[in-house]
Amino acid sequence: MPELTLPEALHRSARLFPSLGISYVQDDGSVDNQTYVQLLRESTALACGLLSIGMKQGDTAIIATSENRKTITLLWGCFLAGIVPSILQPPVTFSDYNPAATKLLNVFRLLGCPYIFTNDAIKDSDPFLTGKIVQYIDVPKLKGTINAPVKPDDIAFIQFSSGSTGEPKGITLTHNNIAKNIHAIIAGIDLLTTDHGGNWMPLYHDMGLIGYHLTPIYAPCQQYHIDTVDFIKNPRLWLDMMSQYKINVTGCPNFGQALVLRYLKRKSGDQDWDFSPVKAMLNGAEPISLRIVDEFTRALKKFNFGEEAMMPVYGMAEATLAISFTPLMKPTIVTYFDSDKLDNELKAVKVSSGAAGRRSRPIISVGVPLSFVSIRIADETGLELPDGSVGHVQVKGESVTRGYYQNQAATLAAFDNEWLRTGDIGFFFEDNLYISGRYKDIIFMNGKNYFAHDLENVAVTLEEITYGKIAFGGITDQKSGKEKVLVFVAGIPETKAINTLHTLRALLRKTLGIQLDEMISIRSNEIPKTSSGKIQRYKLIQRYLQGDFKDNRYR
């Protein structure tokens, strides 16, 4: 059966379920409601307006608005007109160093200098953008009908991965890619028209956009959104929303859970939340921390949050969004593996959770493959490996992109024949997928491989080190040719830096047998992260090699 294109999906939902739609929860708790009928009407008026200013089907566009309702309505205006949009984080200004502004400029060039739609004027706008920035209020809203001949294999959307600041890679997604993945997601979480979805993730991130906006339109079901900035300022907004509106499906990766935990530790008053309706809290987008998951589920248990609702998942933008899910309402599977076997022999060997010393490493399963996608583990030559062997995670299927926008070299480098290289290291064990690390985040020391997040999970057991404020990296010393292990830590007073270094050095030596060479003290806002909260360790390494942090290094 042919899949519905995005315009067809919105038309169907508006026609068959006129009472359903989108609820935009404001920072004061008030709600701005937009039914799918209203969304169709408002986006149709925008689509007519976009065509009236000279845009045509197949053109690209950048949406850089900071209000969810405007972002979503503009997005659907593009879909209905057959225009191919990209959503980017809106820069506040182009002055000084601004990653959002840098990314916008690079994407603007790659897409052929398209219109950039904003909801406010951008301060100190780059002269290169003159005449191309259009405020939402200035887009004509015209009455009329739209019937762009959109086909399933047409490019619907270009997703720019959250790390694309230097040489952006635009992931092309067709209507069929998106529909196939959404159907797999709907099946994986048993999404019903009576369900309520809740989201605080940004719409310029694939999880926020596809998982919590497009999927509820295909289902369809009611969806609730909080602006990401509002959630970061006040995590209680999300907790209130989940309880008040009986949210069934939501998501929260590690860094979001850590924010909630810090909030709950500060605010220990009597809350009357009820999280019993939650059947799926998807946890992915970054390596899943067992410690954070345990603390989070314990903290929410007294508010009737069922630990089986915590749902470890795996995905990536190149596969539209989702690749594997833990089965719905099944306990999280935590398996302890022999670290030496994993790192040195690339074999997954199960050990008891109480195994002594450095031999035991817990890893959370990210479930089983979804429909329309296949997963394999391959060695360096592309040879498929059997279960229990550690290697490169590769995927293929109808939800996987066919390539990067106008970048044949990157497309060819990303694929091993029909298999997409994810860049992750992992293995299958007892039919479950485990992700053990990111290929680029491997630290080489004494002939062994260590993953940065494993070192970070050990380090945060120290009281003075906070999750999300530490990053490990490895370099080769140009003078000696030896490998060096670096750690970047925020929030450590200068008076305690040396003691922290000695304590951390002893801990790593005892638990992992690894030598820590240098600690660099940095500010919290100097830890670069993607929109999903992943630490961009390579950027810290680049700054270190450029000579930054000279006054904050401890050996």
Per-residue pLDDT of the chain (555 residues; tens, 9 = 90+): 458 999 999 999 999 999 999 999 999 999 999 999 999 999 999 999 999 999 999 999 999 998 999 999 999 999 999 999 999 988 876 666 677 888 889 899 999 999 999 987 666 567 778 779 899 999 999 999 988 899 999 999 999 975 433 578 999 999 999 999 999 999 999 999 999 999 999 999 899 999 999 999 999 999 999 999 999 999 999 999 999 999 999 999 888 998 999 999 887 667 899 999 999 999 987 778 888 899 999 999 999 999 999 999 999 999 999 999 999 999 999 999 988 888 778 899 999 876 655 578 889 999 999 999 999 999 989 999 999 999 999 999 999 999 999 999 999 999 999 999 998 889 999 999 999 877 667 776 755 667 787 788 888 888 888 888 898 888 776 566 567 888 999 988 888 888 888 999 988 888 777 888 889 999 888 888 766 567 778 778 867 876 788 888 888
Contact present, 70 and 124 (Cβ < 8 Å): no
Which residue ranges does the chain devote to CATH 3.40.50.12780? 6-318
Rounded CA-CA distance 468/259 in Å is 10
Cα separation, 334 vs 242, in Å, equals 27
Report the alpha-carbon distance of residue 358 to residue 336 in Å, rounded: 11
Topology of domain 6-318, CATH: Rossmann fold (3.40.50)
CA atoms within 13 A on the CB side of 545: 13
Q: How crowded is residue 380: how many other Cβ atoms within 10 Å of its Cβ?
A: 7
* 247 vs 189: CA distance, rounded Å: 13
- DSSP state letters, 3-59: PPPHHHHHHHHHHH-TT-EEEEE-TTS-EEEEEHHHHHHHHHHHHHHHHHTT--TT-
- Return residue ranges of the chain for CATH 3.30.300.30: 446-554
DSSP calls for 203-219: TTSHIIIIIIIIHHHHT
Q: Please give the C-alpha separations between residue 89 and each of 99, 137, 203, 205, 549, in angstroms, as whole numbers.
A: 10, 19, 9, 9, 28
Q: Which CATH architecture has domain 446-554?
A: 2-Layer Sandwich (3.30)
Residue 289 CB contacts under 8 Å (≥ 6 apart), including other chains: 254, 453, 457, 467
- CA 352, CA 124: separation in Å to the nearest integer? 59
Non-local CB neighbours of 464 within 8 Å, separated by 6+ positions: 492, 496, 500, 503
What six digits make up the tokens of 426? 């992992």
**Whole-angstrom Cα distance, residue 110 to residue 158?**
11
Residue of 238, 249, 176 whose CA lies nearest to 207: 249
CA distance 224 to 235: 15
| Helices marked H in 282-392 | 290-301, 339-340
Give yes or no for a contact between 175 and 5, defined as CB atoms under 8 angstroms apart.
Answer: yes
